[in-house]
Structure 1
Amino acid sequence: MDEDKDDFEFERRFFCQTQPEEVNSADMSTLIVQGYFVHEDNYALRIRLQAEGVNRTMNAHTDALDVLLKERDQYTAASMTAKGPVVGGTRYEAERALDPGIAAELVVRGSSLIVKNRYGIWLGEDWWNIDVFGGSNAPLVVAEVERSGPVTDLVIPAFCTTEITDDPRFSNDGLAQSPYSTWSDSFEQELASKGTRFLKGFGSNRSLD
């Protein structure tokens, strides 16, 4: 049986040392709370709830469960997604819609939670999602681009410090299991000693003027 080609995502992801000023020009933000029921070896089963146009303060004191409960009437969409490991900027991702009320009840009943604001903006040739994390993953900021095919010849904005496409520590399921705050110091030391990097296997990497 052939796998549905739509059940694959093509993306590149980047660590940002600070929240980009460009998010201030975003027309709308999306509040996302998601729970992971399986997250091992880069395999994951995720339930996500989204509230369009809702923005919550994201810092170390932001509690994902509290946000979930207080905003539960604002969620406009929910989904359940099965994910496989990232291979060359491609990841198996089968997503199916859920009723937001059912999704909230499932998440409340047991999962590892993540909370974040997502901002979407056009930069250069691509639509960029910029995720600002709260709770134990604050102050992490991740920028990503998704396409219907491999993300090649990408124009990379200056706010992208280093590429994390192939770094499982920064996958959302990885962050659910091992939050950024528990290893951010060692990562900053790693970044300082090894320097930034951008993957070379996706054509040319161009700078956004």
Structure 2
Amino acid sequence: MIEIERKFLVNSNNFKTQSYNSFKIKQGFLNTHKERTVRVRLKDDIGYITVKGASSKNGLSRFEWEKEITTNEANSLLKLCENGVIDKTRYEVKTGNHIFEIDEFYGENAGLIIAEIELTSENESFEKPNWLGKEVTGEIKYYNSQLSIIPFNKW
């Protein structure tokens, strides 16, 4: 239940032609404390509740627990969330042995596109597609929980 992940900005829309899957995500946060976040998510019509712990010093890993919940439960919990619900489309792109998840944000975060890759170890190598930009792993302002508080259009 330890998640190892790296985040990157995206420098073009070329990933869209390489995507094999995409879906809409609406998510809010019941808690955005730096030691733990509690997220409620609707991924198309499937609900999830997720608890994430504090990030490691280098920002690469942290505890994550997730459980599927009903759509009705997710919609009810979204009404209880802090201000700043995130609205985005997630694209999945297979590159080498890995899958990049690319989030294109809307609303107050419109214009921001972030790619994430989950790894099995912090020093695992991976192919970098040409649309992958600057690495922002560990930069807290790019965490969804922080984008819900200080959105991209207010930077």
TM-score by length of 1: 0.68
Q: Say if 1:118 and 1:132, in contact at 8 Å, map to a contact too.
A: yes
Q: Say if 2:23 and 2:91, in contact at 8 Å, map to a contact too.
A: yes
Aligned length: 152
Q: Distance in 2 between matches of 1:27 and 1:153?
A: 22
Aligned-pair CA distance for 1:30: 0.9
Instruction: Structure 2: give runs of 5+ residues left out of the alignment.
Output: none
Q: Say if 2:9 and 2:132, in contact at 8 Å, map to a contact too.
A: yes
Q: Distance in 1 between matches of 2:123 and 2:25?
A: 24
Moved over 4 A (4+): none
User: What is the RMSD computed on CA atoms of the aligned residues?
Assistant: 1.6
Q: Distance in 2 between matches of 1:161 and 1:28?
A: 21
Q: Which residue does the alignment assign to 1:62?
A: none
Q: Say if 2:4 and 2:61, in contact at 8 Å, map to a contact too.
A: yes
Could you tell me the percent identity over the aligned residues?
27
Once the two structures are superposed, the pairs formed by residues 11-26 of structure 1 within 5 Å of their partners are: 11-18=5-12, 20-26=13-19
Aligned-pair CA distance for 1:105: 1.5
Q: Which residue does the alignment assign to 1:105?
A: 76
The one-letter code sitting in structure 2 at the alignment partner of 1:140 is L
Aligned-pair CA distance for 1:148: 3.5
Q: Distance in 2 between matches of 1:78 and 1:165?
A: 26
Max Rg structure: 1
Q: Which residue does the alignment assign to 1:46?
A: 39
Q: Distance in 1 between matches of 2:36 and 2:135?
A: 21
Aligned-pair CA distance for 1:28: 2.5
Summarize deviations over 1:31-60 as a string: whole Å, max 9, x none. 000011111326311001111xxxxxxxxx
CA gap of 1:125–1:151, structure 2 versus 1, over 3 A, is farther
The one-letter code sitting in structure 1 at the alignment partner of 2:2 is F
Q: Which residue does the alignment assign to 1:204?
A: none
Q: Which residue does the alignment assign to 1:80?
A: 49
Summarize deviations over 1:133-183 as a string: whole Å, max 9, x none. 000011100011113433522222222221111101001101111111111
Whose strand proportion is higher, 1 or 2?
A: 2
Instruction: Structure 1: give runs of 5+ residues left out of the alignment.
Output: 1-6, 52-74, 184-209
Q: Say if 1:42 and 1:168, in contact at 8 Å, map to a contact too.
A: no
CA gap of 1:160–1:182, structure 2 versus 1, over 3 A, is same
Whose helix proportion is higher, 1 or 2?
A: 1
CA gap of 1:151–1:115, structure 2 versus 1, over 3 A, is farther
Greater relative CO (CA pairs within 8 A, separation 6+): 2
Aligned-pair CA distance for 1:29: 0.9
Aligned-pair CA distance for 1:122: 0.8
Q: 2:127 aligns with which of 152, 155, 161?
A: 155
